[in-house]
Amino acid sequence: MSPKRIAVLVSNDLAFDQRVRKTCNSLMESGWEPVLVGRRWRRKDTLNIDRPYPNFRMWLPFNTGPLFYLFLQWGLMRALRRCRDEFGCTAVWANDLDTLGPAVRASRRWGWLIAYDSHEWFTEAEGLKGKPVRKAAWRWWERRAFRGISRMLTVNGSIAEAYQSRYGVQVEVVPNVPERAEPALPMPRSFLGWPEDARVLLMQGAFMDRDRGALDAVRALQHLPDHHLALIGAGPEHDEASVVAKRLGVERRLHVHGRMPFEQLRRCTAAADVGLSLDRPTVDNFRFSLPNKLFDYLHAGIPVVCSDLPVAGTFVRTEGIGQVVELEQEDGSIAQSTARAVLALEAEGVSRAHLSQVAERYHWGAHESTLLAALHRP
């Protein structure tokens, strides 16, 4: 008997979205065969990636702005027709608001099951700060798309409450936690260019947007003369980190790495001493986030230093996995508060045994039943 097939839509590069990879694995274990659809950043990139299920990446002539989203909707609708005609899909899984419109259209037109997973509070994202017209357009689009769904997933309780009160839909929570796995073997520091005899702070992030804390971490090095900082990822603050470090005279203690395959990233994380999550509360999407990097650090066995935000800060305090940074307004004050939190963490310590015990309660398998229940009739 041929497997049930489900189209899984992503607006970003397929290779680095770990939540989508875990979702596809869970769908496979439950009897579905995913057909993963995303895009290529460059036309010369490969059409497919190495996954045990069909996948293909669209190339769009624009990467940002209104024309990008216009071509994205057109491209996704074409891809969904291909998923129906070539692969025999009978369901669709939309990841984030920019893929929901075509998914709703396909589910209504062809009677497909639909699921919607919002990885963030999309209309409160950093990219819409100070852009009221663009924000209003996305909220209009959201209201329109939400007419086609009655339930959804998101990443934490605060965002779930916001969506539920705004649209009256049933919202379940599946946090961005790793799959249960044996601890990763730490990457040799010599391979990474990290010192063997110094404390290494780590911040990872697939996209280090404005106010995600990478530059605050660089500034904190001024007050931590015996520490090094490693950044792994991409994004505006990731790109500017070396310039800021040179201006502050700490460039020799900064190690900047690009995005990595997941297993390599796990090994790098395990090689660090402290994990950093320093989002500023400049938009609600940051204020009420529970970053997946917190769980990556936890599963790697390293304690964390985290901004004192309503969700993330409470999680770190409640579970006793690190220190929180007092909320400050100015760059210099944030850097000093971050350094104090790092030193306090090192003075008090958090045992690996405790981190391991907490990690046992937060893994992907514990949420699979909630995840699969998100599929529903339009």
Whether pLDDT at 147 is above 60: yes
pLDDT class of 1 with cuts at 50, 70, 90:
very low
- The arithmetic mean of pLDDT across residues 60-79, rounded, is 90
Q: What is the pLDDT of residues 287-321, one digit of tens each?
A: 888 998 999 999 999 999 999 999 999 999 999 99
User: How many other CB atoms sit within 10 Å of the CB of residue 30?
Assistant: 13
Q: What Rg do the C-alpha atoms of the chain give, in angstroms?
A: 21
Instruction: Enumerate residues 6+ apart whose C-beta is below 8 A from 167.
Output: 143, 146
Q: What are phi and psi of 54, to 5 degrees?
A: -60, 145
Sign of CA dihedral 296, 308, 221, 353: negative
**Predicted local distance difference test score (pLDDT) of residue 43:** 77
For residue 249, the 8-state DSSP code is T
| Burial track 58-84 (b if 16+ CB lie within 10 A, e otherwise) | bebeeeeeeebbebbbebbbebbeebb
What rounded mean pLDDT belongs to the chain?
A: 93
Please tell me the pTM assigned to this model. Answer: 0.84
- The arithmetic mean of pLDDT across residues 358-373, rounded, is 92
Set out the domains of the chain in order of their start, with CATH numbers: 4-179+364-372 (3.40.50.2000), 189-359 (3.40.50.2000)
Q: What is the pLDDT of residues 207-223, one digit of tens each?
A: 898 999 999 999 999 99
Q: What is the pLDDT of residues 5-51, one digit of tens each?
A: 999 999 987 777 889 999 999 999 999 999 999 988 777 778 888 89
Q: What is the pLDDT of residues 81-112, one digit of tens each?
A: 999 999 999 999 999 999 999 999 999 999 99
High-pLDDT (> 70) share of the chain, %: 99
Instruction: Enumerate residues 6+ apart whose C-beta is below 8 A from 375.
Output: 91, 93, 113, 114, 115
Whether pLDDT at 339 is above 90: yes
Which of 126-130, 170-174, 278-282 shows the lowest mean pLDDT across its residues? Answer: 126-130
pLDDT class of 63 with cuts at 50, 70, 90:
confident
Whether pLDDT at 2 is above 70: no
